[in-house]
């Protein structure tokens, strides 16, 4: 017993070194596995305080560029106003009702909230954004995030009361399902951590005719991301002779280096859809029902 | 100014500089992110006990991690260099002096060459460890080696610039004081 105490006293510094190393590595690897650590909510609020102060200063310098972009977005929305359209062959004007639940039986599925980017990097292998809307504003995990000109940016992975962390598309663990607009084929978009301007798109069969500049849009099969939004354009077609699939280099629609304003998209039927999914899974995998 | 206050101010400056300047500047080439914050650990006074060094290293790393959203990554590297620091200082310190005549490691206290060796070794360990941890989940061996060498080069350049631009005014410690 005495020898053990002597041993501990002799190597105390080394043992505490090992202990601190173990603690750091544990933080690191659990964070990567579950995408988030629960204790990080508090830390999130703290870094959020500094980031919002820094952001106020930074905004001043990027105002003009951001203003131009918002103006362009506004412009495109104004053009969609129903008052701009007249049906040519009758004298009746098309009027669209803007109440969310109107007489035609349309139900609002997605709701968009604006948020400001507090912190953003592009030069790491795992890039995250911090935005100034949190659980008290109704932001929850898994919500989609879009840039001010409507291109996909990422998804929310961690929320604190006033801030949330967003995993950007520029993250080596990020996977998103997308479509080629022209052919309607679905593929998986990922990032190879080489250049923050380009993403990689796999799984598009070579039977498709893909040309440079083809538009890539968000897929139909995501619960949290609205379909048909811009992701990027094909910038390079890499011939891979070993498979029957293209590897496409996609230039991102959003400019990740100058993100200032973003939209967080909430699916109003998210709970219902995920619950149905869970229950289906439970029903199929239930050992009692599934006796062969 | 007491050592404690001086180091608290230094700590905040290094962390803010790292988070809001060095991580924000447009990247030079693929993923070479200049990093300088760990110079705080290299500049700690000689008199800090080894145990305290480890704890300070851990806190420095975890503070940066909170901002960078990589919990544990920089903390692990900082604890490593905080642990290695006393060994390297012991090897490089001038042998003839009975104690250290200056308060903290600097080109003046150790001499330019030993000081640069000291920073180079710890920089290599710091970046090597960080890139290794990132590499475990991602990347190839050439990516790993290239990144370690490139980031070390940039960091050494930054450290030398800092030493030349901000020579720390340090009193020579005498018996009378």
Pick the CATH number of B3-165 from 3.40.50, 1.10.1760, 1.10.3470, 1.20.1530: 1.10.1760
Q: What is the pLDDT of residue A222?
A: 82
Q: What is the pLDDT of residues A97-128, one digit of tens each?
A: 455 555 555 667 788 888 888 888 887 778 88
Q: What is the pLDDT of residue B28?
A: 66
Q: What is the CA radius of gyration of chain A?
A: 24
Structure tokens at A77: 């929305």
User: Residues A259-269: what's their mean pLDDT?
Assistant: 86
Q: What is the pLDDT of residue A90?
A: 45
pLDDT band at A159 (very low <50, low <70, confident <90, very high): confident
Of A24, A46, A121, Cβ closest to residue B72? A24
Residue A74 lies in a domain: yes
Q: Give dist(CA B164, CA B146) in Å, integer.
A: 27
Contacts of A16 (CB under 8 A, 6+ apart): B51, B54
Give the burial class of A47: count Cβ atoms within 10 A of its Cβ; 0-12 exposed, 13-18 middle, 19 or more buried. buried
- Max CA separation in chain A (angstroms): 100
- Pair (A155, A191) in one structural domain: no
Instruction: Say how far residue A139 (Cα) sits from the centre of its chain.
Output: 13
Please tell me whether residue A155 adopts helix, strand or coil conformation.
Answer: strand
Output the domain CATH number for residue A191. 2.40.10.350
pLDDT band at A47 (very low <50, low <70, confident <90, very high): confident
Contacts of A85 (CB under 8 A, 6+ apart): A93, A94
Of A21, A50, A126, Cβ closest to residue B70? A126
Q: Give dist(CA A98, CA A102) in Å, integer.
A: 8
The answer to whether B101 touches B58, Cβ cutoff 8 Å, is no
| CA-angle at B15, arms to B13 and B18, nearest 5° | 105
The whole domain housing A117 covers 44-81+106-171
- Pair (A163, A182) in one structural domain: no
Contacts of A83 (CB under 8 A, 6+ apart): none
Q: What are the residues of chain A with a beta carbon less than 8 Å away from any beta carbon of chain B?
A: 12-14, 16-17, 20-21, 23-29, 31-32, 37, 40, 43-44, 46-47, 50-51, 54, 119, 121-126, 128, 130, 165, 172, 193-195, 257
Structure tokens at A120: 């953003």
The answer to whether A117 touches A259, Cβ cutoff 8 Å, is yes
- Pair (A49, A141) in one structural domain: yes
Residue A92 has pLDDT above 70, yes or no: no
Best A10, A12, A18, A24 residue to mutate vs chain B (most B CBs within 10 Å)? A24
Domain boundaries, chain B: 3-165
- Pair (A144, A61) in one structural domain: yes
Q: Give dist(CA B18, CA A79) in Å, integer.
A: 44
Q: Which of A105-119, A221-235, B91-105 has the lowest mean pLDDT?
A: B91-105
Q: Does B68 touch chain A (CB under 8 A)?
A: yes
Q: What is the pLDDT of residues A171-181, one digit of tens each?
A: 888 888 898 98
- Pair (A138, A49) in one structural domain: yes
pLDDT band at A287 (very low <50, low <70, confident <90, very high): low
Residue A93 lies in a domain: no
Q: What is the pLDDT of residue B162?
A: 92
Q: What is the pLDDT of residues B105-123, one digit of tens each?
A: 888 888 888 899 999 999 9
Number of domains in chain A: 2
Q: Do the chains contact at A25 and B72, CB–CB below 8 Å?
A: yes
Q: What is the pLDDT of residues A274-283, one digit of tens each?
A: 899 899 988 8
Structure tokens at B141: 């061996």
pLDDT band at B75 (very low <50, low <70, confident <90, very high): very high
- Pair (A66, A148) in one structural domain: yes
Of B50, B68, B79, Cβ closest to residue A21? B79
- CA dihedral sign of residues A71, A76, A82, A87: positive
Q: What is the pLDDT of residue B39?
A: 93
Q: What are the chain A neighbours of B61 within 8 Å (beta carbons)?
A: 24
The answer to whether A39 touches B66, Cβ cutoff 8 Å, is no
Q: What is the pLDDT of residue A250?
A: 92
Going through A211-270 in order, the beta strands assigned E by DSSP cover 215-218, 230-238, 245-252, 261-267
Rounded to the nearest angstrom, the minimum Cα separation between A270 and chain B is 27
| pLDDT > 90 in chain A, percent | 11
Residue A160 lies in a domain: yes
- Pair (A153, A246) in one structural domain: no
The answer to whether A170 touches A121, Cβ cutoff 8 Å, is no
User: A171, A200, A221 — which closes off a domain?
Assistant: A171
Q: Do the chains contact at A43 and B66, CB–CB below 8 Å?
A: yes
Q: What is the pLDDT of residue A104?
A: 57
Q: What is the pLDDT of residue B116?
A: 92
């Amino acid at each position: 017993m005495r020898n053990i105490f002597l041993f501990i006293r002799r190597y105390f510094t080394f043992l505490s070194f090992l202990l601190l190393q173990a603690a750091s590595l544990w933080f690191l690897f659990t964070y990567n596995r579950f995408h988030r650590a629960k204790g990080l909510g508090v830390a999130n609020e703290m870094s959020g305080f500094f980031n919002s102060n820094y952001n106020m200063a930074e905004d001043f310098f990027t105002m003009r560029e951001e203003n131009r972009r918002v103006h362009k977005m506004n412009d495109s929305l104004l053009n969609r106003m129903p008052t701009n359209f007249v049906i040519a062959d009758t004298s009746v004007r098309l009027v669209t009702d803007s109440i969310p639940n109107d007489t035609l039986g349309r139900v609002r599925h997605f709701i968009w909230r604006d948020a400001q980017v507090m912190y953003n990097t592009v030069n790491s292998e795992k890039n995250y954004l911090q935005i100034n809307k949190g659980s008290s504003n109704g932001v929850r995990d898994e919500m989609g995030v879009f840039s001010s000109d409507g291109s996909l940016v990422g998804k929310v992975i961690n929320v604190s009361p006033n801030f949330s962390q967003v995993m950007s598309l520029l993250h080596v663990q990020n996977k998103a399902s997308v479509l080629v607009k022209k052919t309607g084929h679905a593929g998986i978009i990922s990032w190879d951590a080489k250049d923050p301007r380009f993403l990689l798109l796999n799984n598009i069969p070579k039977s498709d005719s893909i040309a440079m500049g083809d538009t890539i849009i968000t897929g139909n099969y995501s619960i949290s991301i609205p379909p048909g939004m811009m992701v990027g354009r094909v910038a390079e077609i890499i011939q891979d002779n070993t498979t029957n699939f293209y590897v496409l280099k996609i230039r991102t629609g959003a400019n990740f280096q100058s993100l200032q304003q973003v939209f967080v998209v909430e699916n109003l039927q998210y709970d219902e859809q995920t619950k149905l999914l869970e229950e289906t899974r439970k029903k199929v995998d239930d050992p009692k029902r599934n006796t062969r | 100014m007491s050592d404690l206050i001086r180091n608290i101010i230094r700590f905040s400056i290094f962390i803010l500089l790292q988070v809001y300047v060095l991580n924000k500047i447009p990247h030079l080439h693929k993923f070479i992110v200049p990093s300088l914050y760990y110079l705080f650990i290299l500049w700690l006074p000689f008199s800090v006990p080894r145990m305290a060094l480890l704890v300070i290293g851990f806190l420095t790393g975890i503070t940066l991690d909170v901002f960078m959203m990589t919990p544990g990554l920089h903390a692990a590297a900082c604890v490593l260099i905080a642990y290695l620091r006393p060994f390297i200082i012991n090897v490089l310190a001038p042998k003839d002096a009975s104690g250290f005549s200056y308060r903290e490691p600097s080109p003046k206290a150790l001499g330019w060459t030993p000081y640069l060796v000291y920073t180079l070794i710890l920089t290599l360990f710091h970046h090597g460890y960080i890139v290794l941890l990132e590499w475990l989940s991602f990347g190839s061996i050439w990516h790993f080696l290239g990144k370690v060498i490139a980031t070390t080069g940039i960091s050494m350049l930054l450290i030398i610039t800092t030493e030349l631009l901000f020579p720390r005014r340090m009193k020579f410690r005498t018996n009378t004081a």
